[in-house]
Structure 1
């Protein structure tokens, strides 16, 4: 195949240029056709994870526990913050540029005249990479919805839906019932289907019954309990007691951890995992950008909360942190999100807003965000107690917050992945000089 890129950056640039020319068709026919031509299949158990929020955390916990148990684990997770390689891990290590280029070449060799979006092409490439890596288990995070997401061309042995809330309404519908049906599309007949949302949509339950999936519901088939020191998990036939809390902070992490442990119970014969491996895996799990508290002063929190459900959890977590004289928010979000619904649960915690434009045509204008937030100024706010400033990008917004915050204050960077990634990149540059 002449004239194909030979480096990862060149390949990604080509795919981005092609993406603009491909109509985004919410269907799996194109991806399935190329998958069949490639003979793409997994020879190990596959765990697939969908959900409005919490899917990345659940994937990370599963990976961490299974690595401690000695298994060769493949993980597909997205999006990335700084490097595309973050999307694919084998044995806990990022895929190399060479591995990814080889898999991109493999997709290109078989796609023929089938036009693929950036996400479809890269999904097939990473699944090709993982399928050929001699894995003991593959963990695949769903991107958008479930039923029509490119990842869903693979049949999962265990499918997890972490939470169902309102997001991506243009594609998935504007109610929890419509969105729940889309996410339930990853369930398979006769296979375990786990839902850790405390109030599973009726549409999800009905779809599982209709296709004959083995539905595991939180509160019926598995549950958790705990105190301030430790927590316990109970499944259908397995209990795990005296567990340490996951190192991932946040109010919903026990829901995510319970879903992960339910999946491990389903696979206990193929992938047995001991109690100590579960404890160690939960304590050592890492996932950037999910209520990630950075070391140093002032306190800096990174969180990709970009929908009302996630913002409510972030607000609750901020409320549990203890006293800080002032809270600065670096905030940027996409125009198509429920912006008012994201701001509402955060408003009571933020004193100074530093809002930013994002490097995407879908970005909400920082000027419009500033207008919304200026209108929320508390009536009793004194001079210097409330402010709103707009910036051209997240790096500038973060630099402003850092220049104004005292050592006992805190800065919360939240909203789009672009917001958090922009601040991560700026911090990396300031530390390394490149």
Structure 2
């Protein structure tokens, strides 16, 4: 039977119904449908895995390649507001109408000759976007791994260059309990004889061993490339090439030089196929943008949006907030998935927060606002609650933000962080000044 669906919403609803599991690790099903579709890329492919910094690294690669005059394609997930944000061609999000024919092609291949293959939502949507990209006459394709690496749907494409950003403990139920087992999963995106850039300054041994086992061309931070910087500027050095006197990347934050260094190493590793000039590097890094990555929305009170939702990224968020200077009161809107390790996150950022606004999120995987508040209260009691910190619970991120805005003085700051659903909910509905700012998104 052939499904005829005419809207993107219809296709996404179809994808949600197909498979009993949200995540089903394994590449057999995706590989089979990709084979039926004859999915292949005629341009270099860079695949980026890691716990944090993947989206930023992809955005930097894209920005530099665009400045060098290349036609870029980027696949990234999840989205903040609209599904179409997951695919950018030549710097622009694709339209819903561009996606529909590709969803239909995946469905046709999935159900070919009555041999139906079951695909999860992520697998189905990934194949549709990969097909769109493979037909878009790209000069370079940049793929962000959804989860892990080895068994992620993006890994049906052989990367010409793999990048592994930071590795931290997250998604334990799928990837294993520690950095070494998680590193093994990330190492699955490497290919024999091809470059793999490891931008984590302290990578698990499993990543290094994985590269050696398959004889990949390993680029290690501190050995094959490194960066140095002072307050004004930074420089990068790689195998046989240097960039000096670079301006700091337009993406704010302590960890962005690590991401930028990895992006430059990947471009250097592919120099024979997609050469970039020093000017393209300078301009690209100066112009790169990514919503929800320590994004400061101008106005009063100061508003900061960040999708930090694991201990490593919350530590980076804390350092970035610390560097912003003094605010009389800091209000935090926070929502997260139920499987997150909240104790180290609260321990890190807690001392900077004066008022919490916990929010429920529109997904079954989320912790409730009341659940978040209970966990916070329990940790406060253990810590001996020295400061007077208030908390409240809200049904949605936009309600929580409205409460924070109502309570905040103009000199205060509000941070909205946690799940993509938390930041996305605010970007979608937001405050009047947010809506004015984001009309173009």
CA gap 1:188/1:3 in 2 versus in 1, 3 angstroms:
closer
**Superposition deviation, residue 24 in structure 1:** 4.1
Match among 355, 358, 364 for residue 355 of structure 1: 358
Partner of residue 151, structure 1: 154
Answering whether residue 16 of structure 2 is matched by residue 13 of structure 1, we say: no
Indicate if the aligned counterparts of 1:374 and 1:388 stay in contact, CA closer than 8 A.
no
Segment of structure 1 superposing worse, 123-132 or 7-16:
7-16
CA gap 1:181/1:404 in 2 versus in 1, 3 angstroms:
same
Aligned to 1:248, the other structure's residue is in SS state coil
**Superposition deviation, residue 275 in structure 1:** 1.0
2: CA distance, partners of 1:228 / 1:149 = 39
2: CA distance, partners of 1:362 / 1:311 = 20
Q: How does 1:44-55 map to 2 (within 5 A)?
A: 44-55=43-54
CA gap 1:61/1:428 in 2 versus in 1, 3 angstroms:
farther
Answering whether residue 435 of structure 2 is matched by residue 431 of structure 1, we say: yes
Partner of residue 83, structure 1: 82
Q: How does 1:306-325 map to 2 (within 5 A)?
A: 306-325=309-328
**Superposition deviation, residue 379 in structure 1:** 4.5
Aligned to 2:219, the other structure's residue is in SS state strand
**Superposition deviation, residue 22 in structure 1:** 5.0
Aligned to 2:227, the other structure's residue is in SS state strand
Match among 181, 206, 210 for residue 207 of structure 1: 210
Q: How does 1:48-67 map to 2 (within 5 A)?
A: 48-67=47-66
Indicate if the aligned counterparts of 2:401 and 2:430 stay in contact, CA closer than 8 A.
no
Answering whether residue 233 of structure 2 is matched by residue 234 of structure 1, we say: no
1: CA distance, partners of 2:305 / 2:365 = 21
Q: Per-residue CA shift, 1:298-347, capped at 9, x if unaligned?
A: 11111111100001111111111100011000001111111112211111
**Superposition deviation, residue 12 in structure 1:** 1.0
**Superposition deviation, residue 110 in structure 1:** 0.9
2: CA distance, partners of 1:121 / 1:91 = 23
**Superposition deviation, residue 205 in structure 1:** 0.5
Aligned to 1:160, the other structure's residue is in SS state strand
Q: Per-residue CA shift, 1:47-94, capped at 9, x if unaligned?
A: 000000000000000001100111000000111111111001111111
Q: Give TM-score, length-normalised by structure 1.
A: 0.96
1: CA distance, partners of 2:196 / 2:420 = 28
2: CA distance, partners of 1:346 / 1:22 = 33
Partner of residue 92, structure 1: 91
Match among 191, 205, 213 for residue 194 of structure 2: 191
**Superposition deviation, residue 366 in structure 1:** 1.3
Q: How does 1:11-410 map to 2 (within 5 A)?
A: 11-19=11-19, 21=20, 24-112=23-111, 113-375=116-378, 376=380, 379-381=385-387, 385-410=388-413
Unaligned runs of 5+ in 1: none
2: CA distance, partners of 1:290 / 1:431 = 18
Indicate if the aligned counterparts of 2:148 and 2:175 stay in contact, CA closer than 8 A.
yes
Q: How does 1:417-428 map to 2 (within 5 A)?
A: 417-427=420-430
Indicate if the aligned counterparts of 1:327 and 1:352 stay in contact, CA closer than 8 A.
yes
Segment of structure 1 superposing worse, 114-123 or 3-12:
3-12
Q: Give TM-score, length-normalised by structure 2.
A: 0.95
**Superposition deviation, residue 18 in structure 1:** 2.1
Unaligned runs of 5+ in 2: none
2: CA distance, partners of 1:412 / 1:66 = 32
Aligned to 1:335, the other structure's residue is in SS state coil
**Superposition deviation, residue 271 in structure 1:** 1.0
**Superposition deviation, residue 276 in structure 1:** 1.2
Indicate if the aligned counterparts of 1:208 and 1:214 stay in contact, CA closer than 8 A.
yes
CA gap 1:64/1:399 in 2 versus in 1, 3 angstroms:
same
2: CA distance, partners of 1:380 / 1:286 = 39
RMSD: 1.6
2: CA distance, partners of 1:365 / 1:11 = 29
Indicate if the aligned counterparts of 1:22 and 1:115 stay in contact, CA closer than 8 A.
no
> Number of paired residues?
430
